A and B are shown apart, each in its own frame.
Chain A
Amino acid sequence: MVLKLEHVTKRFGQFTAVNDLSLAIPEKEMFGFLGANGAGKTTTFRMILGLLDHTEGRITWDDQPIDYSTSHLVGYLPEERGLYPKLRVREQIIYLARLRGMQKSEALIELKAWLERFKIPDYENKKVEELSKGNQQKIQFIAAVVHKPKLLILDEPFSGLDPVNVEMLKEAVLALKENGATIVFSSHRMEHVEEMCEHLCILHKGSPVVHGSLKDIKREFGKKNLVIHADFSLDELKNFPGVVKSKITMEGIQLQIEGEYIAEKILKEIVNKGFIKRFALEEPSLNDIFIEKVGNSYE
């Protein structure tokens, strides 16, 4: 059950929304899509779901194209949230679940379990328009997963939620993965992807700029972060050969360096100058990689 995208390209007239994207997402894996606004994430998802036809390339899941015959195996949480405002939670979820090939009674049991899990069991008979935005999002999430999909596509699942609810939803996503679902999700928030995904892809203006497993990406990136806190001035380190970027902080300095060997040199340089409270060599964060690859245009 591998989800494969092979040389997928999508053009709208002259505009290329997605350019030559190739991915393979193995079963039971969590895959993260990163990209600035307009990078092509939503278009990619829509192509995977068959809502949009791709201009070139091939998209398959388990060597089959994804179409309406497999829709009961696919769950989708669109970026733009939306439910019927006038319908009750229960009617809504049952309707959407039945459209995904679920029996009414089965859907009801699942719905109750999910409401219980999200600690909102008394919302079953409320109209969606009466709920707060965060709770609407939970209902939306339930709508995407109630039919126990094997492939789950989540477009910005955590945006607009408070930290408590983000945690709750994260746990739910991880539990779904444990149960064997393949999950593709996009996010603006690097830490979510870093925390949850084994593999990821950074899209920039429709083209994949980084693609692979998190570890490989970090290793290939090569650069490391160095944090030094000392009781003497570290300002001169800014111009030390091999330092790519630097940032003065309250307690010292943060450096991005070309590799581990630079840290060694820096340590030799400063070790006799005074008391060093902290000298830590850190893996680059996904945020650093993203900024490096996509540029500062990203907010």
Chain B
Amino acid sequence: MNNFWIILFHTYLSKLKTKSFIITTILTVVIVLGLTNINRIIDLFDKNGGKDTIAVIDESGQLYEPFKQQVNSINKDIVLTQYKGNEKDAEDKVEKGDYSGVVSIQFNDENLPVATFKAMSIADSSLFTDLQTGLQQVKTMLAASQLNLTPAQLQKLYEPVKFEKVALEKNAKTEEELNQARGLVYVLLFIIYFSVIMYANMIAMEVATEKSSRVMEILISSVSPIKQMFAKILGIGLLSLTQLAAFLLVGYYSFIKNMAAFKDGFFGVGNIPVATIFYAVIFFILGYFLYATLAAFLGSLVSRIEDVQQMITPMTLLVVAGFMIAMFGLGKPDAPFITATSYIPFFTPMIMFLRVGMLNIPAWEAFLGIAVLITTIVILAIFGARVYRGGVLMYGKSNSYKDIKKALQLTKNK
């Protein structure tokens, strides 16, 4: 077998077998499962199966029924019961935990309802909002009947205004599509961001470990550093795909199973545009190669593992900057700033992907971005391989970017 493949599979398999890799993978799978099952988990912790029982003290004797009806139509999980005792007893029962809260309703001077809500804490604002909305509607109905409005008139009054957004561009995404795209792009951006940082780190560490344990000198006397560098980058790349495949399979399966409610909402899993996934894969792979190459040659410059982090910090900052810009771009993907930064190679993987995911940009723009990326990767690879070749032979205290020059000098012929 060719040396290239031996190194590739050695890198892949030896990393795959490490405890830290297995633990991280399992932990992340658990988190993914947790996130996609979040509804169930929240339910699990809610007392009474997530239902709030509210005691209602109705001093008027007429308000309870309409109030109950309204609240029921807003939120089925709020159970109202009429409480016949006095307010003090009801409060005691709230303290004992029999009720989540108590509402006392009465008429005011104008014959309209006023109410007080008492609970152990008023931190649960959604419960209060629901109750308030219910009572508001009761009040509106009462006020309307006092004014002698017919139900038809009333309906007219409350009918929402018709207000549509229309994009003039032919293939522009509709509002609904945009929301779906935003969710998907957001998730994919996160995946690109995390994996680039994580796996680039892994490569830099791997190179630095071989260097600091001095096994490097034997390695480079057997296999050319360039071959070695790319075998390593591909090996870790394969590892990243394995890990991501595990996450995505588990995540997708669990998502489909548990979140049918969201299916047509934020994420729009039901109809993910094929092009978006295609571009996500392309930009993920290219982004990985870009940063992996950078990480490999930065890793080759340090002599001790402790210095790896320091050395690759600027690279990490680049990724973070790209991610920040992309986050800003989620809200305003057509900003000129976003368009400009999508052609800066270190940002392209995230920002160009954001643009193709959110906007309907012409295909040539996306391909220009891809071309810029590939060119940069090739340049970095050629340059990086030369630095790597010299860098792996260099041992010393200094760990600065001046070493790049030294490393290049080492490989110079004349």
Report which A residues bind B (CB closer than 8 A). Answer: 12-13, 46, 49-53, 55, 68, 71, 74, 76, 78, 80-85, 87, 91, 95-96, 98-100, 143-144
Distance from A268 Cβ to chain B, minimum over Cβ atoms (Å): 58
Tell me whether B414 and A55 are in contact (CB under 8 A): yes
On chain B, the residues within 8 Å of A91 by CB distance are: 14
Report which B residues bind A (CB closer than 8 A). Answer: 1, 3, 6-7, 10, 14, 209-210, 213-224, 393, 395, 409-414
On chain A, the residues within 8 Å of B219 by CB distance are: 96, 99
In the complex, residue of chain B having the shortest beta-carbon distance to the beta carbon of A100 = B222
Residue of B7, B209, B217, B395 touching A99 (CB-CB under 8 A): B7
18 A–B contacts from the bound complex (CB under 8 Å) = A50-B221, A51-B393, A53-B413, A55-B414, A68-B223, A68-B224, A78-B218, A82-B217, A83-B215, A84-B209, A84-B213, A85-B213, A87-B14, A91-B14, A96-B222, A98-B6, A99-B222, A99-B223
Tell me whether A76 and B409 are in contact (CB under 8 A): no
On chain A, the residues within 8 Å of B223 by CB distance are: 68, 71, 99
On chain A, the residues within 8 Å of B14 by CB distance are: 87, 91
On chain A, the residues within 8 Å of B1 by CB distance are: 98
Inter-chain CA distance A269–B224, complex, in Å, is 67
Residue of B7, B215, B393, B413 touching A82 (CB-CB under 8 A): B215
Inter-chain CA distance A143–B395, complex, in Å, is 22
Distance from A136 Cβ to chain B, minimum over Cβ atoms (Å): 11
Q: A74-B221, A99-B3, A99-B7 are in contact. List 13 more A-B contacts (CB 8 A).
A: A12-B409, A52-B393, A53-B411, A55-B414, A68-B223, A68-B224, A81-B214, A82-B215, A82-B218, A85-B213, A96-B222, A98-B1, A98-B6
Tell me whether B216 and A71 are in contact (CB under 8 A): no
On chain A, the residues within 8 Å of B217 by CB distance are: 51, 76, 78, 80, 82
Residue of B10, B224, B412 touching A95 (CB-CB under 8 A): B10
Distance from A4 Cβ to chain B, minimum over Cβ atoms (Å): 19
Distance from B48 Cβ to chain A, minimum over Cβ atoms (Å): 53
Tell me whether B214 and A13 are in contact (CB under 8 A): no
Residue of B213, B218, B409 touching A143 (CB-CB under 8 A): B218
On chain B, the residues within 8 Å of A99 by CB distance are: 3, 6-7, 219, 222-223
On chain B, the residues within 8 Å of A71 by CB distance are: 221-223
On chain B, the residues within 8 Å of A46 by CB distance are: 393
In the complex, residue of chain B having the shortest beta-carbon distance to the beta carbon of A83 = B215
Inter-chain CA distance A96–B219, complex, in Å, is 7
Tell me whether B215 and A76 are in contact (CB under 8 A): no
Distance from A270 Cβ to chain B, minimum over Cβ atoms (Å): 56
Distance from A160 Cβ to chain B, minimum over Cβ atoms (Å): 14
On chain B, the residues within 8 Å of A80 by CB distance are: 214, 217, 395
On chain B, the residues within 8 Å of A143 by CB distance are: 218
Distance from B1 Cβ to chain A, minimum over Cβ atoms (Å): 7
In the complex, residue of chain A having the shortest beta-carbon distance to the beta carbon of B217 = A78
Inter-chain CA distance A55–B410, complex, in Å, is 10
Inter-chain CA distance A143–B213, complex, in Å, is 15
In the A-B complex, list the 9 residue pairs whose CB atoms are closest, starting with the nearest: A82-B214, A78-B217, A99-B222, A82-B215, A80-B214, A76-B221, A82-B213, A49-B221, A53-B413
On chain A, the residues within 8 Å of B213 by CB distance are: 82-85
Tell me whether A78 and B214 are in contact (CB under 8 A): yes
On chain B, the residues within 8 Å of A82 by CB distance are: 213-218
Inter-chain CA distance A74–B218, complex, in Å, is 11
In the complex, residue of chain B having the shortest beta-carbon distance to the beta carbon of A128 = B213
Inter-chain CA distance A91–B6, complex, in Å, is 12
Inter-chain CA distance A84–B215, complex, in Å, is 6
Inter-chain CA distance A98–B7, complex, in Å, is 10
In the complex, residue of chain A having the shortest beta-carbon distance to the beta carbon of B222 = A99
Tell me whether A76 and B410 are in contact (CB under 8 A): no
Residue of A12, A13, A96 touching B218 (CB-CB under 8 A): A96
